[in-house]
Structure 1
Amino acid sequence: MDLDSITVALRSFWTIWLMLLLTGILVYAMWPGNRRTFEEAARIPLKDDGQEF
């Protein structure tokens, strides 16, 4: 096994790993149970705490 074949194998591994990671993130973000959490987080910048900087 030379360096070129190791490089090709690692590139394939990282491509598959990143695609699985992206799929997992998308499934988590689109899961119906997480909707309320994300909606509350989206409203944080609009809240008025009464504090001035």
Structure 2
Amino acid sequence: MTHDFLVWFSKSFGLFWLMAMAAGVLVYTYWPSNQSRFQQAARAVVDDEDKPWR
């Protein structure tokens, strides 16, 4: 096992790992059952904005 092989393998594995993670995040984000959770989080930020800080 040479250094060049290890570098090639780690770069290739890292590329595919990041692509798989990005695809997983996109699937999670656009999954229909998560829509209400994200809409509630978006409204919660705006609802608390107009009140004084305690």
What TM-score does the superposition give when structure 1 sets the normalisation length?
A: 0.86
In the alignment of these two chains, the number of paired residues is 53
Which ranges of structure 1 fall in alignment gaps of 5 or more residues? none
Instruction: List per-residue Cα deviations over 1:1-39 (Å, max 9, x = no partner).
Output: 111110000100010011001101100000000000000
Q: Which residue of 1 aligns with 2:39?
A: 39
Provide the rounded CA distance (Å) in 1 between the counterparts of 2:4 and 2:48. 58
Identity %: 36
Provide the rounded CA distance (Å) in 1 between the counterparts of 2:42 and 2:2. 50
Shift of 1:50: 7.4
Provide the rounded CA distance (Å) in 2 between the counterparts of 1:21 and 1:13. 12
Runs of 4+ in structure 1 over 2 Å off: 48-51
RMSD (Å), alpha carbons? 1.7
Q: Which residue of 1 aligns with 2:9?
A: 9
Shift of 1:48: 3.9
What TM-score does the superposition give when structure 2 sets the normalisation length?
A: 0.84
